[in-house]
Structure 1
Amino acid sequence: MRLLKPALLSAMLALPLATPAAFADTPPEILVVAQNIDDIVAIDPAQAYEFTSGELVTNTYDRLVQYDAEDTTVLAPGLATSWEIDAEAKTIVFTLRDGVTFHSGNPFRAEDVVGSFSRVVQLNLTPAFILTQLGWTPENVAEMVTADGNTVTVRYEGDFSPAFVMNVLASRPASIVDMETAMANAVDGDMGNAWLNANTAGTGPFSLNTFRAAELIRMDANPDYFNGAPAIEGVIIRHVAESATQQLLLEAGDVDIARNLTPDQIAGLEGELQVETFPQAAVHFLSFNQNVEALTPPAVWEAARYLVDYEGMTNSIIAGQMEIHQAFWPEGFPGALTDTPYSYDPERAAQILEDAGIELPITVTLDVINAAPFTDMAQSLQASFAEAGIEFEILPGTGSQVITRYRDRSHEAMLLYWGPDFMDPHSNAKAFAYNSDNRQETYTATTTWRNSWAVPEELNEMTTAALTESDPAVREEMYLELQRRVQAESPIVIMFQASYQVGMAENVAGYVNGATSDFVFYRLVDKS
């Protein structure tokens, strides 16, 4: 594989960001991507919780078991080649892959698995709950995950099916970190967190060369990757917030892939280009913070479901990007509720509010990411909700600004999206139907807590029961009922499921964009 010449690399990294004319033709062995990447808050696998950071982690780290570019529906061996499950003893013994090295050159060891899992639990940052739900705590994790030669034994507590546990271990925070490198860069007991938010320390198909927040990501191919070296020498992802600019760059041949084009731009692409459509697991919703008194009556939640112009948006501003979906588990996965009982009916919504004695108008701020198609969706909601006396004041912001306000519970209404943390219905059920402690000081990374919704105890109990149910058919019906309840009785109005259209140069092949951000793979991309 030919290495990128230093002069060419320097020229690519030095390109100004302001105008399309500043870009040069893409190098033959480098994939250049135009994408809005300003949602990134963290890239340390123990902290990364945004869509774009998930893509970066997936391409630079591995897990014991993982969904891979070659088939994103199959849970395949990763850094473990085999495993033995003892459901009665609640243990899984993994045999590790030999001969793997980290990007630093350090050998991959069983101690890195133990240290990586322990590190997530001890740091206790946003995605830690994915692993701690296995009963792991800072006090017991050393006993729950142990190494013996070339094997690692994982123990868990709780009545979980082994399939659930395996999906947890295939999730983003279960990525294996080069612990020697991480701890060598630790500062004030942070276990290398600050350093890993600017660098990577994985075994993945790419290593991180450059990361500049809201500006640029540069990844270099790992020629020694255990699943085979990538077909290209590297990937450059440039932050281009404006979709119109992305279109111009793609048509001019200055980028190979444009990731955030609107339906009109997709339809209007000129030149020898191709468009790929990828179904996505993300569900898009409108939610109301229950710390705002005017938004607490259930009649407001019910009326809101009839104030969304579902068909109007899917036939225009989000055509090809989203489909109507009104339940928290995405269509295409087992256990998804596909009923869509709500449609745009402002007269019915007005009657619901009148019958409940709701004082109108209600004026509420609506936080939205300042990028297509979200701002267009916000304007549609602003117009349709005004029909019934609910007046939105739109507050646009960068992805990180909006997400930070959401996590702080400082918003009033929020237009946002949610993707499952791992491939099990419990991932979204916990996010949309469970909140056992609504206190401000008990931060929880769920939509329920972030909207200050004290979920009824019956729903909490139903969520817990579905998680522990061993009969697959019974478990599926339990999740269907949970979705029906949330669909009808929560301050979270689920509206759409994403479908993703990507514009690409005709010589690009092998790009994989699975159902979640953790399934975006560049390893198989070829520019012939």
Structure 2
Amino acid sequence: MKLRKGISRTLVAGIIVVIVIIAAVAFISLSRHPTTTTPVNVTHTTNTTTTKTNVTVPTTNVTSIPSSITVDEATPPVSVDPASSFDVAGGELLQNVYQTLVFYNGTNTSSFVGVLAENYTVLNNGTTYVFHLWPFITFSNGDPLNATDVWFSVYRTMLMNLGISVYVSQGLSVNNGLGFVGKLPSGATGTIELPNGTLQALEYAGYTFPSNKTQAYEQAAYDLAYILSHFNVSNQTIQKVMSYPYQAVVVVNPYTVQFNLQYPYSAFLAAISTSAGAVVDPVFVDEHGGVQIDTANTYLSTHALGSGPYMLETPLGQSYVILQANPNYWASKVPQSERNFMLAIPKIETIVIDYQTNEALRISDLQSGKAQIAQIDIIDLPQIIGSQGISYIRTHTHYPIMYNGTYGTVYVWGPSPQIDFLAIDAYQYPFNITNVRLAIAHAINATQIQQQVYDGLALSYVGPNDPSLPFYNSSIQGYTYDPALSINLLTQAGFSLTLPNGTTVNPGGTPFPTIVLTYQTGSTALQDEALIIQQQLAQIGIKVQLNPESTVTIVESYLNPPNSSSYPAFQLAANFPPVLSPIDPAIYLMSQARLHHGNPAFVDNPEINSLIIQAVRTDNPVQLQKIFNEITELSLQQAQYVWLDDFIAYTVTVHGIQGIYYSPGFDGLFYATIY
């Protein structure tokens, strides 16, 4: 599931991160692969050596490009504020409206192309990053975008401390990237992600602070929030603060910005490529509520103004949104020879995204031509391309492939970073009994789910890492499918079970209670997967009540403590990491600080917590492999997650839609390349 931010986080210690992606399902209208391409050179500087990275962008070779298209998707966005968005649908809008300094180079998740940055340099053993911006960038309203806006945006995101912002805060916050515990605007005590060096930068500009360190940090955080809420780049004091050289982010000159990390952070470029790294217009922010510590900006949650190829024409809150091509798009000034796919100029003027939760209607819209692109579950693909097409895709071994069916085209990209799993809360009865969790794990036949629900277009895996990410170890074996072992584990725990044939096992024991399985609505695949899980657990005498809920309802339920009946103790969920690094799933799924969103099973293992911190703070591959092996083994012992499927990524369109470009870093479709 990929939710991402939106609710204030107030917890402490260790690595704090949360990302959610509740549910996303196997769709996934991930993106794109150009039908026709031309090579383009993009310059970036690493260390002190300038290198050329070849990337490709689609070229238009058709005579008729539609002025608008409609896209049917299952789930509406929760937020479109880069500092508080946490869901896939919101992330898709952000990637089309806002921009980051760099982005993943196509399917290569360890190589990056410049977006706002014309080039960048990595210095000091990976602790210093210097970005040189294009000198003619503007927001869609014409406001100039330069290094001061980057400084503003990063510090704003860190202070707001919502959703996936913690990935950006790693290595940049005080206390070696952990932030500090202080008083929040609500009066409560919680973690404040104060950028490292802010206190000293303010002192450099003439501010004074108390001698008590915590009080000084608190005052510095609130002083910074005030500056951000009254941001004036002509103010000499603010200029002096931004130029202080020994802070997390430094404005070197109008078109050069420097990041100073406290330790080598191997996922840094990936982190700032997420929506949390997007650059916002300070004027727009300050005209609509400014910046508050650990608090969402309600206006920017529903309204957006960025520098990207599209503008959000309609605020959130309706059943659809409209994206309009940015008429002032600055990338048109970038020479064609230096323009990568992330700087493509939009060809389609208007994109209408219809959030249609009914799968049958999404299928009907695509078949009738009402929608040109639609989110269709794997199980329903035969209605679009026929069973012969599914058979062809399943047996094809090389990706990407394209299949034209009766009603549309399916572009298949290959294994995605999205995983599916069951999350079990060990704080609630009967799941607080280890044998119960192990019994459930051994009663689930993941292969059956992959075949019946996903028609074989899904792979087995052992989490928390996804097979598409570095350091995945395929030699580690997961739970065996063994119903007899499950029954034995439950009887050892003292339970009485009634099997489907009427046999009662351990009749003197405590009758096993009916349990509730929560999953996201809007997906036929998730519904069918839940039904199979219900049937499989029935075979060992466990009755399951299915509980389909909206994404918003599930997220809100995370606000309850893990021992509360209002917290979903048994969930069918998924993770689509916004940061394509093994650090992401480890933190999201296993970190002690779930902060309202992450770690839906509420794992709290001291060894895992320590290993996660070690993983964040090293880029040594041998050490990282050892760390992730240990996290995987410990997760199997905990038995709070049952790993189900790793999905094949694909996109469904009507015939004739071209220019779809695929990157696992996209939360949805990148519309600028499509025609």
TM (norm. structure 2) is: 0.68
Change (3 A) 1:321 1:106: farther
Among residues 567, 584, 589, which one is paired with 1:427 in the alignment?
Answer: 584
Contact 2:248 2:259 in 1 (8 A): yes
| 1:253 is the counterpart of 2:405 | no
Contact 1:68 1:519 in 2 (8 A): no
Number of the residue aligned with 1:303 = 439
Contact 2:168 2:276 in 1 (8 A): yes
Change (3 A) 1:89 1:311: closer
Contact 1:280 1:515 in 2 (8 A): yes
Among residues 455, 458, 461, which one is paired with 2:610 in the alignment?
Answer: 461
Number of the residue aligned with 2:33 = none
The superposition leaves residues 373-427 of structure 1 with CA deviations (integer Å, 9 ceiling, x where unpaired) of 1111111111111222332221111122123223545212111111223122111
Moved more, 138-147 or 68-77: 68-77
Number of the residue aligned with 2:59 = none
Contact 1:37 1:214 in 2 (8 A): no
Number of the residue aligned with 2:602 = 452
Change (3 A) 1:467 1:185: closer
Structure 2, unpaired ranges of 5+? 1-63, 174-192, 199-246, 332-342, 386-404, 496-509
Moved more, 358-367 or 235-244: 358-367
| 1:370 is the counterpart of 2:521 | yes
- In the alignment, residue 489 of structure 2 is paired with which amino acid? I
Contact 1:310 1:343 in 2 (8 A): no
Among residues 536, 545, 550, which one is paired with 1:398 in the alignment?
Answer: 550
- In the alignment, residue 151 of structure 1 is paired with which amino acid? T
Number of the residue aligned with 1:14 = none
Change (3 A) 1:272 1:374: closer
Number of the residue aligned with 1:344 = 481
| 1:323 is the counterpart of 2:472 | no
Query: Structure 2 matches for 1:82-481, cutoff 5 A?
Result: 82-88=119-125, 90-136=127-173, 137-138=193-194, 140=196, 142=198, 143-149=247-253, 150-157=255-262, 159-161=263-265, 163-186=266-289, 193-213=297-317, 215-223=319-327, 224-226=329-331, 227-269=343-385, 271-278=406-413, 279-319=415-455, 322-338=458-474, 339-358=476-495, 359-371=510-522, 372-408=524-560, 409=562, 410-435=567-592, 443=595, 445-447=597-599, 450-455=600-605, 457-481=606-630
Moved more, 510-519 or 107-116: 510-519
User: Whole-Å Cα distance in 1 between the matches of residues 72 and 437 of structure 2?
Assistant: 38
Q: Quick one: higher RCO (CA 8 Å, sep 6+), 1 or 2?
A: 2
Moved more, 488-497 or 98-107: 488-497
- Structure 2 SS opposite 1:509: coil
- Structure 1 SS opposite 2:588: helix
Change (3 A) 1:509 1:69: farther
- In the alignment, residue 70 of structure 2 is paired with which amino acid? V
User: Whole-Å Cα distance in 2 between the matches of residues 360 and 133 of structure 1?
Assistant: 47
User: Whole-Å Cα distance in 1 between the matches of residues 614 and 251 of structure 2?
Assistant: 32
User: Whole-Å Cα distance in 1 between the matches of residues 290 and 276 of structure 2?
Assistant: 21
Contact 1:250 1:258 in 2 (8 A): yes
User: Whole-Å Cα distance in 2 between the matches of residues 244 and 500 of structure 1?
Assistant: 21
Contact 1:514 1:520 in 2 (8 A): no
User: Whole-Å Cα distance in 2 between the matches of residues 497 and 113 of structure 1?
Assistant: 35
Moved more, 464-473 or 322-331: 464-473
User: Whole-Å Cα distance in 1 between the matches of residues 535 and 107 of structure 2?
Assistant: 44
User: Whole-Å Cα distance in 2 between the matches of residues 325 and 215 of structure 1?
Assistant: 36
Number of the residue aligned with 1:492 = 641
Q: CA deviation at 1:52?
A: 0.9
- Structure 2 SS opposite 1:282: strand
Contact 1:286 1:493 in 2 (8 A): yes
- Moved runs in structure 1, 4+ residues, more than 6 A? 70-73
Moved more, 363-372 or 479-488: 479-488
Change (3 A) 1:520 1:346: same
User: Whole-Å Cα distance in 2 between the matches of residues 82 and 478 of structure 1?
Assistant: 33
Change (3 A) 1:218 1:141: farther
Contact 2:558 2:597 in 1 (8 A): no
Q: CA deviation at 1:69?
A: 5.8
Contact 1:360 1:390 in 2 (8 A): no
User: Whole-Å Cα distance in 2 between the matches of residues 511 and 85 of structure 1?
Assistant: 32
User: Whole-Å Cα distance in 2 between the matches of residues 297 and 260 of structure 1?
Assistant: 38
User: Whole-Å Cα distance in 1 between the matches of residues 624 and 378 of structure 2?
Assistant: 38
- In the alignment, residue 463 of structure 1 is paired with which amino acid? I
Corresponding residue pairs, total: 490
Change (3 A) 1:266 1:45: farther
User: Whole-Å Cα distance in 2 between the matches of residues 311 and 452 of structure 1?
Assistant: 26
- In the alignment, residue 315 of structure 1 is paired with which amino acid? Q
User: Whole-Å Cα distance in 2 between the matches of residues 459 and 202 of structure 1?
Assistant: 38
User: Whole-Å Cα distance in 1 between the matches of residues 588 and 316 of structure 2?
Assistant: 31
User: Whole-Å Cα distance in 1 between the matches of residues 453 and 267 of structure 2?
Assistant: 37
Change (3 A) 1:315 1:282: same
User: Whole-Å Cα distance in 1 between the matches of residues 249 and 596 of structure 2?
Assistant: 24
Contact 2:84 2:296 in 1 (8 A): no
Moved more, 283-292 or 356-365: 356-365
User: Whole-Å Cα distance in 1 between the matches of residues 375 and 284 of structure 2?
Assistant: 33
Structure 1, unpaired ranges of 5+? 1-25
Moved more, 302-311 or 66-75: 66-75
Moved more, 172-181 or 357-366: 357-366
User: Whole-Å Cα distance in 1 between the matches of residues 384 and 655 of structure 2?
Assistant: 16
Change (3 A) 1:292 1:148: same
Contact 1:83 1:92 in 2 (8 A): yes
Number of the residue aligned with 2:34 = none
User: Whole-Å Cα distance in 2 between the matches of residues 225 and 415 of structure 1?
Assistant: 43
Q: CA deviation at 1:369?
A: 0.9
Contact 1:120 1:128 in 2 (8 A): yes
- Structure 1 SS opposite 2:647: strand
Q: CA deviation at 1:99?
A: 0.4
Contact 1:58 1:172 in 2 (8 A): yes
The superposition leaves residues 288-312 of structure 1 with CA deviations (integer Å, 9 ceiling, x where unpaired) of 1223131012212211222222122
- In the alignment, residue 96 of structure 1 is paired with which amino acid? L
Number of the residue aligned with 1:20 = none
Share of identical aligned residues, percent?
A: 20
- Structure 2 SS opposite 1:515: coil
- Structure 2 SS opposite 1:414: strand
Change (3 A) 1:41 1:491: same
User: Whole-Å Cα distance in 2 between the matches of residues 469 and 504 of structure 1?
Assistant: 42
User: Whole-Å Cα distance in 1 between the matches of residues 195 and 672 of structure 2?
Assistant: 38
- Structure 2 SS opposite 1:485: helix
The superposition leaves residues 202-245 of structure 1 with CA deviations (integer Å, 9 ceiling, x where unpaired) of 11121111244361021112242412311211211111112221
Contact 1:266 1:503 in 2 (8 A): no
Contact 2:172 2:195 in 1 (8 A): no
